Structure 1
Amino acid sequence: MSFLELLSPLPPGLNLSLTLLSLLTSGISASVGIGGGTLLIMVMAQIMPAAALIPVHGMVQLGSNAGRAALTWPHIDRQVIAVFLPGVIVGALMAAWLLVRLPPGVLELCIAGFVLLSCWGPSLPKRSLGNKATFAAGAVTTLLSSLVGASGPLVGAFIKHSQTARLPRVATFAACMSLQHLSKAFVFGVAGFVFREWLGLMLAMIVAGLLGTWLGLKLLRGLSDQRFDTLFKWMLTLLALRLIWMGVSRLSA
């Protein structure tokens, strides 16, 4: 049995493809600020069992985002993290025992609407970026992350308004997403998911993701704040359009 066969229940070729994809998508997130995780889950959804999709993706994204946060540690807005973390805890507890869910499609359309408003609407007033809003953002986006794995654009839209420079935005976003993905270990552990079967693939994708993060950050440091802001805004917009397509598809199914 080859090394690739030992990584997960998937065929060796798919294990290798997902590992290389992790390198690519981590590089995208590090250089553009967002988008890699969503691209990764889109591909994983085509080839992985539904029960394993969100927990495995969550652990891989934990490694990618934690690596990015570590490499940009001095730029993290610690005040935002201090208030965001309690919200993450509340959101994770809600996700672990939540019984009521919105109809399929509605959630995606709501997220897309908020993201597009954040990108192209008027700037949020300062009071909407205070501690209460940050706590609420932590709780709500963590809940969504555990249920549908689609919270990245929502967190990105919030961070876009609280951090204007490229490095603090990437660093703070990575720290927030690390906390959210860490909460998934608790949520899916409570739900009985067996991480052991997928441990090899998760570790391989995390290592590849760290390499992609290092390469992406080298590219990021060569971008101006203005060009980065433009790329970040358009990446969020594309993700929102994808969510609209998903939401309409599910509502019409």
Structure 2
Amino acid sequence: MSIFTALAFLVVVFLTSALSGIFGMAGGLILLWFLLLALPATVAIAVHGVIQLCANASRAWLSRRYIDFRIVAIIASGGALAAVLLALVDYTPNTATVSILIGLMPLLVWVPKVWFHFDASRTSHAFCCGLVAGGLTIASGVSGPTIDIFFIRTHMDRRQVVATKAAVQVIAHAIKIVFYLSAALTLSTGQWGLILLAIPFAILGTRSGNAILRRLTDARFRYWTRWIVTAIGAFYFVQGVVLLSNMA
């Protein structure tokens, strides 16, 4: 890997972590796109998991007093079951599939809230959230917009949503890393050294984003989240369609 690429990687890690620190997602989508440019899908998802685990862990720690640990535990159990089911079918992703899945996810943020009756504070709903979002996290590397539809009917403010999602994502990324561990082990020592170097940048980016989050109103938070995620999703979808057409 060239020095320019390494520096670009560190800058992307910082900026995407800051973005996720503000909106609780979006940054991870951009980081995964960057990784897919340079690595096979399975390796990119594993590396993404390592960096995002650290970024989410720091975000969860900074907002720990707002975390609903009961919801986290239930969602995590559903995610663990999803991982077992995908392991049984020997699931292996490719860049085109990942791009299409991520490209379709943002459609969920535009569906009228009255269509959904999910509430993450309810045990059965939280478990379903873990099962669906956990499966998508492993299948595509991310699942932020999917998790959101289970939180729109809760009485949680923006800080509680970001903090609880961060804690959920820590566990989800840990499961993802284990799922793709064999692919991750194909990286060289130098590549892993760069990944470890990126972790402080992820934490610093998260702290920067958290500071901006405190200045946002709930209304602005939800408005910008919707548009940013939609723009990223549209890009992913077009990329996936192009990749599929090239494979045909």
Deviates more, 1:55-64 or 1:156-165: 156-165
Question: For 1:97 and 1:231, how far apart are their aligned partners in 2?
Answer: 39
Give the number of equivalent residue pairs.
244
1:154 partnered with 2:136: no
What residue is the counterpart of 1:231 in the other structure?
Answer: 224
Change (3 A) 1:137 1:149: same
Question: For 2:87 and 2:208, how far apart are their aligned partners in 1?
Answer: 36
Task: Render the CA deviation track for 1:12-37: whole Å, top value 9, x for unaligned.
Answer: 33222211211111101111222101
Name the SS of the counterpart of 1:31 in structure 2. helix
Change (3 A) 1:183 1:123: same
What residue is the counterpart of 1:43 in the other structure?
Answer: 34
What residue is the counterpart of 1:137 in the other structure?
Answer: 129
Name the SS of the counterpart of 1:158 in structure 2. coil
What residue is the counterpart of 1:55 in the other structure?
Answer: 46
Query: Aligned partner of 1:19: which letter?
Result: L
Change (3 A) 1:115 1:14: closer
- Stretches of structure 1 that go unaligned for 5 or more consecutive residues are 1-9
Question: For 2:196 and 2:153, how far apart are their aligned partners in 1?
Answer: 33
Question: For 1:16 and 1:104, how far apart are their aligned partners in 2?
Answer: 24
1:218 partnered with 2:217: no
1:91 to 64, 67, 82: 82
Superposed counterparts of 1:1-253, under 5 Å: 10-99=1-90, 115-126=106-117, 129=120, 130-162=122-154, 164-189=156-181, 193-194=185-186, 197=189, 198-253=191-246
CA contact (8 A) 1:119 1:236 kept: no
- How far the C-alpha of 1:52 sits from its partner, in A, is 2.2
Question: For 2:155 and 2:6, how far apart are their aligned partners in 1?
Answer: 36
Report sequence identity in percent: 28
Deviates more, 1:108-117 or 1:76-85: 108-117
Question: For 2:109 and 2:142, how far apart are their aligned partners in 1?
Answer: 16
Question: For 1:192 and 1:172, how far apart are their aligned partners in 2?
Answer: 27
- How far the C-alpha of 1:58 sits from its partner, in A, is 0.9
Question: For 1:100 and 1:200, how far apart are their aligned partners in 2?
Answer: 28
Name the SS of the counterpart of 2:151 in structure 1. helix
Given the two structures, how large is their TM-score scaled by the length of structure 1? 0.82
Query: Aligned partner of 1:143: which letter?
Result: G
Task: Render the CA deviation track for 1:19-62: whole Å, top value 9, x for unaligned.
Answer: 12111111011112221011111112222344521111111111
Change (3 A) 1:85 1:150: closer
Change (3 A) 1:39 1:97: same
Question: For 2:4 and 2:52, how far apart are their aligned partners in 1?
Answer: 21
Question: For 1:250 and 1:49, how far apart are their aligned partners in 2?
Answer: 14
Name the SS of the counterpart of 1:159 in structure 2. coil
- Stretches of structure 2 that go unaligned for 5 or more consecutive residues are none
Query: Aligned partner of 1:238: which letter?
Result: A
Question: For 1:81 and 1:237, how far apart are their aligned partners in 2?
Answer: 26
Question: For 1:169 and 1:121, how far apart are their aligned partners in 2?
Answer: 19
CA contact (8 A) 2:63 2:163 kept: yes
Question: For 2:127 and 2:204, how far apart are their aligned partners in 1?
Answer: 32
